[in-house]
């Protein structure tokens, strides 16, 4: 039950992704809906970082420091986006959202290796790929403030994905697993979404993906 998960507010209403309306950059409401969707992702990302802290015990102290830092930065991103959304006359909860990110968090709740592989390295890494196109859309629409917010978020998100990479590789070493084969097996086991181009290779390199991993994309 969603209402049993700490940090889940009564709004926005959560619907399947395909039930969300199209968002047109040509209208104020369409741009606001897109900003709301990004704010919803960042809100969920606060909870997933905190979940990674309390759910998985017996990790090195640095693991908990890293994810607490992520939670703080995700909260900052949410505050930036919601403040900008309010300049359009809306606030968080005024539009519907979907719960795909949290569904993967829930699926990986029993294994920290799966969590590191499929949330920061997969779901959040998709945000690195999408960021340049989103930034261009807002800049072309004349929303330079939003473009600048996306610049801040991209820089921080590279660091968040890098943290996922660090701990995924650390866990593979601890368990004597080969990282690429392990990642591919986890994607199949947990029905991870298939990655689609275009890929932000520069950002992915900065986040610690190896050339061998990038070649497989």
Best CA proximity match to 5, nearest among 77, 103, 118, 114? 103
Say which CATH superfamily domain 25-216 falls into.
Answer: Ferritin, core subunit, four-helix bundle (1.20.1260.10)
User: If you count them, how many residues does the chain have?
Assistant: 217
Rounded mean pLDDT, 40-56 = 94
Distance CA 111, CA 95 (A): 33
Distance CA 67, CA 62 (A): 9
Omega cis (within 30) before 198 = yes
In the numeric block, the tokens 């809306």 are attached to 90
Percent of the chain with pLDDT over 70: 92
Best CA proximity match to 99, nearest among 143, 59, 45? 45
3-state secondary structure 59-100: CCHHHHHHHHHHHHHHHHHHHHHHHHHHCCCCCCCCCCECCH
Whole-number mean pLDDT of the chain? 91
Distance CA 114, CA 189 (A): 9
In the numeric block, the tokens 């699926």 are attached to 107
**Taking the domains of the chain in order of start, what are their residue ranges?**
25-216
Q: What is the pLDDT of residue 2?
A: 42
Model confidence at 42: pLDDT above 50: yes
Best CA proximity match to 14, nearest among 3, 30, 28, 25? 3
Structure tokens at 140: 């072309």
Q: Over the stretch 136-184, which tens digit does the pLDDT of each residue have?
A: 999 999 999 999 999 999 999 999 999 999 999 999 999 999 999 999 9
Best CA proximity match to 81, nearest among 157, 179, 161? 157
Distance CA 95, CA 32 (A): 9
Q: Over the stretch 97-144, which tens digit does the pLDDT of each residue have?
A: 777 777 888 899 999 999 999 999 999 999 999 999 999 999 999 999
Task: Answer for the pair 116, 168: CB distance below 8 angstroms, yes or no.
Answer: yes
CA 186 vs CA 90, 101, 118: distances in Å: 39, 16, 8
Band (7; pLDDT cuts 50, 70, 90): low
């Amino acid at each position: 039950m969603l209402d049993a998960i700490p940090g889940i507010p009564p709004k926005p209403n959560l619907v399947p992704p395909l039930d969300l309306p199209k968002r047109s950059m040509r209208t104020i409401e369409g741009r606001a809906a897109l900003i709301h969707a990004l704010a919803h992702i960042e809100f969920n990302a606060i909870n997933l970082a905190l979940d990674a802290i309390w759910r998985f015990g017996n990790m090195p102290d640095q693991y908990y420091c890293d994810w607490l830092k992520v939670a703080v930065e995700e909260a900052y991103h949410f505050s930036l986006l919601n403040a900008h959304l309010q300049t359009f006359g809306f606030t968080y909860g005024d539009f519907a959202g979907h719960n795909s990110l949290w569904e993967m968090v829930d699926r990986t709740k029993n294994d920290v290796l799966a969590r590191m592989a499929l949330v920061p390295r997969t779901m959040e890494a998709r945000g690195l790929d999408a960021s340049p196109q989103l930034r261009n859309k807002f800049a072309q629409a004349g929303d330079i403030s939003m473009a600048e917010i996306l610049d801040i978020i991209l820089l921080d998100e590279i660091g968040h994905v890098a943290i996922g990479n660090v701990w995924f590789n650390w866990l593979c070493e601890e368990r004597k697993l080969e990282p690429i084969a392990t990642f591919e097996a986890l994607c199949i086991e947990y029905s991870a979404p298939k990655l689609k181009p275009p890929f932000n290779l520069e950002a992915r390199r900065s986040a610690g993906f190896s050339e061998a991993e990038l070649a497989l994309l």
